[in-house]
Chains A and B, each alone.
Chain A
């Protein structure tokens, strides 16, 4: 049997940032870039060089069998001719666009585009099941690496403040009817540094309040941001604070306006809200700063309707934050009773428009938590003693290390890369 010990040293990468991003599949493309960076690091640790291709379809002279791994949404997937083409693809709905007439456009047909690849690496059992369910039998489970095998060192209060204490924190002060100038004035009046937020300072000094965090793209309706905020405001106790890290394009000089800009479409109409216990962070943060943010966090809230993987949640867990999370879709792989506080949810068909699942053209079911579901879960989280919270956080971190460390995922990737020549020979 033909086999080689080690495939070629260089892995070709095609990334979303070089693709034609026209938001055909919703507004969540940023996650492909984050995932790509994790895999590039993993490949490096496994001894591979990587080369990023802007247009993989232009490559015509590659040695047969070279690996090409794509991190793109399906309509932007292109193969390298002759290569062993792999795509990493996360999908969070129970339907896929997989059928069309011959006269229909090919690019939006997800199953068609994915079917061009020899392997599909699905990051969760849920995505795996959905893709195999539409006949994409070449799908295998290869999640994104999240953390190291050893526990993440906890940062001390001083180190946390050094890293993120001077970040602008914008309190929830929003009026849909105020003019731009008025809104700026509103926001500026409450603007402070993260380290100056009283609840954060108290908590770092050992106070009894709790710090809740959510990291999300507000334009991604799955993330359920308004119900997260409302749920928190409904049950917050003195000393509690909710930090909303917005994952948005760099807002440059207009940081303060960002809150208004991103909340207004969510409210979809007249609205005003003010709360000194809810703060937005709009800056781009380096990973070391994100680590500091996670270290600061007691509870990470993920009221998401559905997920293909949910990297920020896993990152927070890896740092010992207790997830207050829904347990459907990808979360079923790693959210368990002993490492989390569950947000209950009811299944609905088509509860809101504008989600990527609509590309399938068929009804899809989502488990949608209301603000009451969020509030109920937060209340249970608040009832945990400090010891119980810490224990649960440690189990959460251990879960992520066990399932998603570079070492664990590295073994899976090594298996897949080694399997390729054997498959070809067979």
Chain B
């Protein structure tokens, strides 16, 4: 009998699939393709039809998912099975102890470790949810060793809950299938516009060293999250003229395929984040063979390994130096090495590790409670 692997996919109801929704989408795709298990997809307490999920994971966003879930009552309330059964939450739980065995994926503890970079509402929400979610899990999967360490350091109450690491994988398409074009040189700055992602570090660098704008167009890719608006940032850093001349551009959210083309053809990617749970954009840039400059510390070195350039993102001088280093490192061999590094990460590996860890935990629990199957 095939094990039942349930995946909570509430985050797919976001308008744009970036960050955690993107992780959820890739896990859902792998689960759909895994013939060794029976898939179950859940939104709140609703089990969604597999055919619907197949449609959803082909989209870049699915805000209509809430509406659909509130309309689909297929009468299937039970996940009770004699087979092993696990539930995987890619982020927070709607209802704790909803699945027989619960695996929680924790992406970062930045609302705890760096609350100053989140809105008050986010800090309040995350701080009230995360620890109880962990305490009610049979297994916690951290997306990096850095996040695993944060869980251990900041939540000693959860010492008895096993925490394992499953690193994420690039969300970009195969590098050899991304369209390559010859264009004037440009630098891509990745990241949602919010304080933690710290894209203002690049704006500050451009203000101090405007020669960069003459040499490269700077393209900021990412939706606005919270904090100072783009309209206010541009004059603050004296970049109104550069924006009007098209030398500094803000694309907002871009679907994966469009972002891939933009990144793959860039001279360099800058990801100036102050703190990450993993650092997917770094890995994605490397997967496309593009040099990347990012912040030192947190989990970013796990994503970038020896192939990213790490700088103090609070220092415009250091950032400029890092950018100079990256732009010198454009050879074919270097690009190939970056792609080789990134190729060791794949969504199948991520999914398989999480699935196997969850099922192993469930099997141990089943053996321990053999006398009463559903306890």
> Which residues from chain A sit less than 8 Å from chain B, CB to CB?
173-178, 226, 229-230, 233-235, 267-275, 344, 346, 348-353, 368, 370-373, 375-376, 379
Contact = CB atoms under 8 A, between A and B. Distances in A.
A234 B77 contact: yes
Contacts of A229: 77
Given A270-B43, A272-B73, A344 B66 contact: no
A273 B78 CA distance: 12
Interface stretch (B93-101, B166-174, B200-208): B93-101
B77 to A, nearest CB: 4
Report the 3 A-B pairs with minimum CB-CB distance, sorted nearest first: A177-B70, A376-B374, A233-B77
A235 B45 contact: no
Given A234-B80, A376-B373, 6 more contacts: A173-B73, A178-B71, A267-B45, A270-B13, A270-B70, A351-B136
Contact of A272 (B46, B94, B373, B374): B46
A269 B97 contact: no
Contacts of A270: 13, 43-44, 46, 65-70
Which DSSP category, helix, strand, loop or mixed, fits chain B's interface?
loop
A368 B45 CA distance: 18
B157 interface: yes
A375 B80 contact: yes
A198 to B, nearest CB: 17
Interface in B44-102: 44-46, 65-73, 75, 77-80, 94-98, 100
B132 interface: yes
Contact of A175 (B13, B70, B98): B70
5 contacts: A175-B73, A234-B78, A351-B96, A368-B97, A372-B374
Given A270-B46, A270-B69, A370 B98 contact: yes
B95 A226 contact: yes
B128 interface: yes
Interface residues of B, number: 36
A275 B97 CA distance: 22
B44 A269 contact: yes
Contacts of A234: 77-80
Contacts of A375: 78, 80, 374
B96 A344 contact: no
Contact of B44 (A267, A274, A346, A348): A267
Nearest to A174: B73
Contact of A344 (B46, B68, B375): B375
Given A226-B45, A270-B46, A351-B97, A275 B75 contact: yes
Contacts of B70: 175-178, 270-272
Residue among A275, A348, A372 with the highest chain B CB neighbour number at 10 A: A372
B375 A376 contact: yes
Contact of B69 (A173, A272, A274, A350): A272
Residue among A234, A235, A269, A349 with the highest chain B CB neighbour number at 10 A: A269
Interface string B145-185: 00000000000010000000000000000000000000000
Given A235-B80, A373-B375, A349 B135 contact: yes
A373 B96 CA distance: 13
Contacts of B374: 372-373, 375-376, 379
A185 to B, nearest CB: 14
B73 A273 contact: yes
A271 B74 CA distance: 11
A370 B369 CA distance: 15
B157 to A, nearest CB: 7
B66 A269 contact: yes
A349 B131 CA distance: 10
B372 interface: yes
A348 B80 contact: no
Contacts of A267: 44-45
A372 B96 contact: no
B69 A271 contact: yes
A267 B98 CA distance: 12
Residue among B94, B96, B97 with the highest chain A CB neighbour number at 10 A: B97
Nearest to A349: B135
Contacts of A379: 374
B161 to A, nearest CB: 12
A95 to B, nearest CB: 16
B27 to A, nearest CB: 20
A350 B80 contact: no
B244 to A, nearest CB: 44
A350 B132 CA distance: 6
B154 to A, nearest CB: 16
Contacts of A178: 70-71
A186 B128 CA distance: 36
B18 to A, nearest CB: 21
A352 B96 contact: yes
B233 to A, nearest CB: 34
A230 B95 CA distance: 13
A351 B72 CA distance: 28
Contacts of A371: 98
A274 B43 CA distance: 16
A343 B44 CA distance: 24
A251 B70 CA distance: 24
Interface in B197-226: none
Contacts of A273: 45, 73, 77
B105 to A, nearest CB: 19
Contacts of B98: 370-371
